[in-house]
Chains A and B, each alone.
Chain A
């Protein structure tokens, strides 16, 4: 299973970025191999519009089964839902701790977007 989280820096010892579309990086955990890697989201960081849509597209392309982030808007949620990616919102803290909570089954997938479009 692949779990994607939003990251401010390329380190799992830092806080998860609460923003989805304009997070600087994604960290992709592969639970099967016990490994992780980082994806650059810089292109969307500075997008004039549609950052959430394309960020969601990148998460889908990365082969994610689950996205964990602070908040997710309606367009990104629609893309992820149509691609069968579960979305977990509302948690915060260090990336490695968030992943551990998810692995212990403490985090549940959201049923819908938790913020409006253009939420900051």
Chain B
């Protein structure tokens, strides 16, 4: 079972929820930190990780003696990554998605592909908790290849939690796509509601069942409650706006460590999510 934890807005508590869900239960869980531009789940976990693999994409390299500057490659590129000059085609690798379109378009066979490292992933395990963290190298722009690879890595596990990147663009879609259930974390504020509604549109387009968790419940207004009720979206749980959670967060500790009340709260949310996702055999 794959559960993705996402949000439109950044900083709503995706990692807080993901980490605490993972630490609240007694069965095996694989937590995937797919926020590869700024992975921070590890800060709150009682385990060590080790880099296990580099992630590469295929990037085009132009043989300038064969290149006739015909421009077919630049025309084929959907990402504006190639410009043609009298000296041959220039490839801007930061813009390249590694799709291979230019390679197919070149009539001279002047383009070959070479792997380029764009990031890596790291893994760790302690007790029932397995953890995989993807990390995009500084200066790189393409998060999806790393997200795809770490999701693939966790594919065989029975219970996978995917801590997704914020927003509603390619990295978020890549993380959420194919999940059995998506939890959209929001704060009960006008900003939270605005970005929640964008995320709702996205997961609806992906045709994935979803529910909402409200974090910092007690601040803001009733807008999110009213929106969810009018859109028939289930609010799976609410995490109170409690200074103790912020304090434990700032120490790099999970909220489940504050006391049995929070462990029970997150466990209850986990069981509800699993139930909505169709899981029958949770112990």
Contact of A82 among B85, B92, B94 (CB under 8 A): B85
A residues 8-27 near B (Cβ < 8 Å) are none
Contact of B81 among A50, A82, A83, A117 (CB under 8 A): A50
Q: How far is the CA of A79 from the CA of B69 in the complex (A)?
A: 13
Q: Is the CB of B85 within 8 A of A49?
A: no
Interface size on A, residues (CB 8 A): 17
Contact of A79 among B79, B90, B94, B95 (CB under 8 A): B90
Q: How far is the CA of A16 from the CA of B81 in the complex (A)?
A: 27
A residues 52-81 near B (Cβ < 8 Å) are 53-54, 56-57, 60, 75, 78-79
How many residue pairs bridge A and B at CB < 8 Å? 42
> Which of chain A's residues has its CB closest to B77's CB?
A50
Q: How far is the CA of A54 from the CA of B74 in the complex (A)?
A: 9
Which chain B residues border A79 with CB–CB below 8 Å?
83, 85, 90
User: B80, B92, B95, B141: which has the most chain A beta carbons within 10 Å?
Assistant: B80
The reply to whether the CB of A31 lies closer than 8 angstroms to some CB of chain B is no
Contact of A56 among B83, B94, B95 (CB under 8 A): B83
Interface readout for B73-110 with A: 1 if CB under 8 Å, 0 if not?
A: 01000011111111100101011000000000000000
The reply to whether the CB of A92 lies closer than 8 angstroms to some CB of chain B is no
Which chain B residues border A111 with CB–CB below 8 Å?
none
Q: How far is the CA of A51 from the CA of B82 in the complex (A)?
A: 11
Q: Nearest chain A CB to B4's CB is how many angstroms away?
A: 24
The reply to whether the CB of A84 lies closer than 8 angstroms to some CB of chain B is yes
Q: How far is the CA of A53 from the CA of B96 in the complex (A)?
A: 12
> Which of chain B's residues has its CB closest to A44's CB?
B80
Q: A50-B79, A50-B95, A75-B92 are in contact. Are A57 and B86 (CB under 8 A)?
A: no
Q: Nearest chain A CB to B168's CB is how many angstroms away?
A: 14
Q: How far is the CA of A79 from the CA of B94 in the complex (A)?
A: 15
Q: Nearest chain A CB to B109's CB is how many angstroms away?
A: 22
A: residues with CB less than 8 A from B are: 44, 47, 49-51, 53-54, 56-57, 60, 75, 78-79, 82-84, 117
Interchain residue pairs A-B with the least CB separation, the first 9:
A50-B80, A82-B85, A79-B83, A83-B85, A57-B83, A54-B80, A50-B95, A82-B87, A53-B83
Report 29 cross-chain contacts, Cβ distance below 8 Å, ordered by A residue. A47-B80, A49-B79, A49-B141, A50-B80, A50-B92, A50-B95, A53-B80, A53-B81, A53-B82, A53-B83, A53-B92, A53-B95, A54-B80, A56-B83, A57-B74, A60-B84, A60-B85, A78-B90, A79-B83, A79-B90, A82-B85, A82-B86, A82-B87, A82-B90, A83-B85, A83-B86, A83-B87, A84-B86, A117-B94
